[in-house]
Structure 1
Amino acid sequence: MSDPFTHAKTILKILEENGFKAYIVGGSVRDYLLKRPIHDIDIATSATPEQVMTIFPVTFPVGVKHGTVIVRHENCNYEVTTFRSESGYKDFRHPDEVTFETSIFVDLARRDFTMNAMAMAMNGQILDPYGGRADLKKGILRTVGNAEARFKEDPLRQLRAIRFIAQLSLKPDRVMEKAITTCAPYIRHLAVERIREEMTKLLMQDAAPRGLELLLRTGLHTHLPGSQWLPRLECTLDVSFRWLDTEDERWALFLISSDCKNPDAFLKTWKFSNKTALAILSLMNAFQRRNQYEWDKLTLYQYGLETACSVEKIRRAMGHAFTSQEILTECWVELPIKSRSQLAVNGRDLCRWLDKKGGPWTGRLLEHIENKVILGEVSNDRHAIQRWLERHAFD
């Protein structure tokens, strides 16, 4: 099997040839051991940011204050960070003081979980001072050092723990779970955007209910924004997220299964973009409509094929009877038009034919004609529509 770190190890080699120590660190080492796909590869080094920028011709000083430089090498970007220790987290996110270090072991000591506190040398040797490899084999998630201290430094680590438990099918260490229960109120100090991003990552896991169960068990959910609008959050444990593809679908399922009492207020509280909020609300509205009636030509036309298919996937995820995408697609293909822009007439035609000035009436009449075309009661043809109009416009 080819080495996924071949190109990254070139960075290590160049740094070592210049007299510095360097290792691949973090999630990529963890995913390598789990035989999972590897995405971003991070590198830690004893070189300072200034020294890194001197060694490599193409760099981007994205976080020099905290020791981080992006190195562009062989058309790939690598985040290269100086070994460091940290102290003080007054804003519950960033350390008040960062000290550059010369030891990889000091650097690993500041990391969140044991599985993320491993480093790989250029020869493939893995440094694992906190037993991350053993924890992965046991399927246990455990913090580096004191769990409460880790969570007070950055309370988002609690949600990261919950997400990792779902993503990697892990069990929480008992000490860590107790620490989440104790530190749960600190989540209120976080910017809602950070909470939303981590919750979205959790909901994108097929095993999201595994993490949501811990969210409930520790009481962390009661400190999340808008929790008062989710009276049946425990019902999210009984749905199957694996049938869904998009973030909008998964958030809609989360809110529907939680029996969200004020989706609009919830989405505003969580600071979703207007576009995303409208997409989620549209799915929820279509779902409620579908609960009352089967899809017909008009509702399929109104909501569109994509929304209809998403609603049926949500129904399937909740264990309801659902209509297949194939059947919906067949019905969609048979529609004479797919949008008003395809209608053979427009408002100007109506004004000319009826010798009237434009106004709100044109929109209402166009909608009426649109419905007649969809139902097959009149052909989508200018002359056919004009003849129908002459007969029925004043009925």
Structure 2
Amino acid sequence: MKTAAKVIRNLENAGFEAYIVGGAVRDFLLGKVPHDMDVASNAYPEEVKKLFNRTVDIGIEHGTVLVLMEGEGIEVTTFRTESEYTDLRRPDKVEFVQSLEEDLKRRDFTINAMAMDKDLAIIDPFGGKSDLEKCLIRAVGEAGERFQEDALRMLRAVRFSGQLNFAIEEGTLAAIRSHASLIRSVAVERLKNELDKILLNPRTQHSMAYLKDSGLAKHLPAGGLLSMDWTGYEPKGQAAFGWAYLLHSQQKQFEEIKGYKFSNAERRLVERALEAANLTEWDDWTFYCFEAKELEIACYLNGTDMDIPLRKEQLPIKSKRELAVNGIDLMEWSGRKQGPWLRQWIEKMERHIVYGQLENDNGLIKDWFLNEYNGDS
């Protein structure tokens, strides 16, 4: 907040208007510590760049310059209006203006359409402060127009409902219902980003109830799965818990949600967690084969509690890297070239060591291997 105030002061000293805008103002009024500080000003990007020693052009075509000051980055965006959203996401034309109110009226919800000056005075042309007090999410102006400009705003309303524990204002909810099919036009990466946030917010079930009631769910990938009962779900700080919960609760496989374009790491985490959760029992080999996070999610899915780090720490080895021998040793001892047999014998060796049937010692493993290998030949 102090750094943003300094940025505003510098702009004002140069004869410009400048205000903190957006979610930071909302969070400040809710008594929360604001994180991302955005500043709106009637200064044009080139004028902003001249006033500060360190800036980065992060969206200069839309009027945004990142000001670097005191170890922080403050986005400064020129007051602007937007016209026609042919792709239901980006404005066809952005026009810089000199009016703060014109800038605020293009925003999504009244609680996000407030501004604050450097002295913490609130500028609130659309009743955002009143809606905060009433715990309401209301679109700025005509809700249908806002959603036609950017259809993702409908899903953002659903997300904010759980994040803030607010109700969606009746007219705004009605507009979501009548425009729900527009959500199909939104890039799947943006959809997943919002759903990830919903799975992290403290009242996921509240948001998911709106997702179903608004009609949005049926237009989303795997929407039928999203419409399940979420009352038993508790966020755990990582969206993967939610995606795994979604599938495990309905005995579905990852293929059902692959349309959201998960990263390879996300996919592996969810799939492995489901695999571990479906095992009938866990032994030392389970704790060796699965990563701690995979087991943590699996425990959550099964409603069990165990000291996973301790169990992994008690293993004779934690990974292949700790083995006293490697594939080259086995090829040398057997006189064979690399092939499928090698992986099978390495796993056999790992199992014996993990189960305490063989000590992780080069000489002892060699004796064991030669005896077992020759016995199988």
1:333 aligns with 2:333: no
1:388 aligns with 2:376: no
> d(CA) in 2 for partners of 1:346 and 1:73?
52
> d(CA) in 1 for partners of 2:352 and 2:19?
68
Secondary structure (helix, strand or coil) at the match of 1:70 reads strand
Secondary structure (helix, strand or coil) at the match of 1:145 reads coil
> d(CA) in 2 for partners of 1:351 and 1:74?
59
> d(CA) in 1 for partners of 2:250 and 2:125?
42
The residue that corresponds to 2:249 in the other structure is: 257
AA aligned to 1:312 is C
1:280 aligns with 2:270: yes
AA aligned to 2:231 is D
1:239 aligns with 2:232: yes
Secondary structure (helix, strand or coil) at the match of 1:241 reads coil
Secondary structure (helix, strand or coil) at the match of 2:297 reads helix
The 1:392–1:30 alpha-carbon spacing in structure 2 relative to 1, beyond 3 Å, is same
| Residue pair 1:117, 1:130 contacting (<8 A) in 2 also | yes
When structure 1 is superposed on structure 2, of 342-351 and 79-88 the one drifting more is: 342-351
The 1:389–1:47 alpha-carbon spacing in structure 2 relative to 1, beyond 3 Å, is closer
Deviation at 1:46, TM superposition (A): 1.4
Residue deviations 1:37-56 (CA, integer Å, cap 9, x gap): 21111111111222222222
Deviation at 1:133, TM superposition (A): 1.0
Secondary structure (helix, strand or coil) at the match of 2:87 reads coil
Root-mean-square deviation over aligned CA pairs: 1.9
Residue deviations 1:222-275 (CA, integer Å, cap 9, x gap): 1112336x2x7313x122323x23232332223323543x523522x2122222
Residue deviations 1:66-118 (CA, integer Å, cap 9, x gap): 22222222332211111112221101111122222222111111111010111
Residue deviations 1:339-382 (CA, integer Å, cap 9, x gap): 12222222333333344444322221221121111111222222
1:304 aligns with 2:304: no
The 1:75–1:351 alpha-carbon spacing in structure 2 relative to 1, beyond 3 Å, is closer
The 1:117–1:336 alpha-carbon spacing in structure 2 relative to 1, beyond 3 Å, is same
When structure 1 is superposed on structure 2, of 49-58 and 34-43 the one drifting more is: 49-58
The 1:97–1:346 alpha-carbon spacing in structure 2 relative to 1, beyond 3 Å, is closer
Matches within 5 A, 1:261-272: 262-264=253-255, 266-267=257-258, 269-272=259-262
AA aligned to 2:66 is I
> d(CA) in 2 for partners of 1:68 and 1:259?
46
The residue that corresponds to 1:197 in the other structure is: 193
Aligned with 1:213 (options 209, 218, 224): 209
Secondary structure (helix, strand or coil) at the match of 1:369 reads helix
| Residue pair 1:28, 1:41 contacting (<8 A) in 2 also | yes
Residue deviations 1:155-214 (CA, integer Å, cap 9, x gap): 000111111111111111111111111111001111111111111111111311110110
The residue that corresponds to 1:157 in the other structure is: 153
> d(CA) in 1 for partners of 2:15 and 2:43?
9
Aligned with 2:48 (options 46, 49, 52): 52
Secondary structure (helix, strand or coil) at the match of 2:228 reads helix
| Residue pair 1:264, 1:281 contacting (<8 A) in 2 also | no
| Residue pair 2:233, 2:245 contacting (<8 A) in 1 also | no
> d(CA) in 2 for partners of 1:23 and 1:100?
16
Secondary structure (helix, strand or coil) at the match of 1:238 reads coil
> d(CA) in 2 for partners of 1:88 and 1:201?
28
> d(CA) in 1 for partners of 2:338 and 2:50?
69
The 1:58–1:252 alpha-carbon spacing in structure 2 relative to 1, beyond 3 Å, is same
Instruction: Extract unaligned runs of 5+ from structure 1.
Output: 317-321
> d(CA) in 1 for partners of 2:219 and 2:251?
18
Runs of 4+ in structure 1 deviating by more than 4 angstroms, as ranges, are: none
> d(CA) in 2 for partners of 1:212 and 1:301?
36
AA aligned to 1:353 is W
The 1:257–1:169 alpha-carbon spacing in structure 2 relative to 1, beyond 3 Å, is same
> d(CA) in 2 for partners of 1:348 and 1:91?
57
The 1:115–1:360 alpha-carbon spacing in structure 2 relative to 1, beyond 3 Å, is same
> d(CA) in 2 for partners of 1:358 and 1:10?
65
The residue that corresponds to 2:98 in the other structure is: 102
Residue deviations 1:312-345 (CA, integer Å, cap 9, x gap): 12333xxxxx032x2x333322211111222222
Instruction: Extract unaligned runs of 5+ from structure 2.
Output: none
Paired residues, number: 375
AA aligned to 1:239 is G
Secondary structure (helix, strand or coil) at the match of 2:278 reads helix
Secondary structure (helix, strand or coil) at the match of 2:53 reads coil
Aligned with 2:171 (options 149, 171, 175): 175
The residue that corresponds to 2:61 in the other structure is: 65
The alignment's TM-score, normalised by the length of structure 1, stands at: 0.89
Aligned with 1:363 (options 324, 343, 347): 343
The 1:118–1:358 alpha-carbon spacing in structure 2 relative to 1, beyond 3 Å, is closer
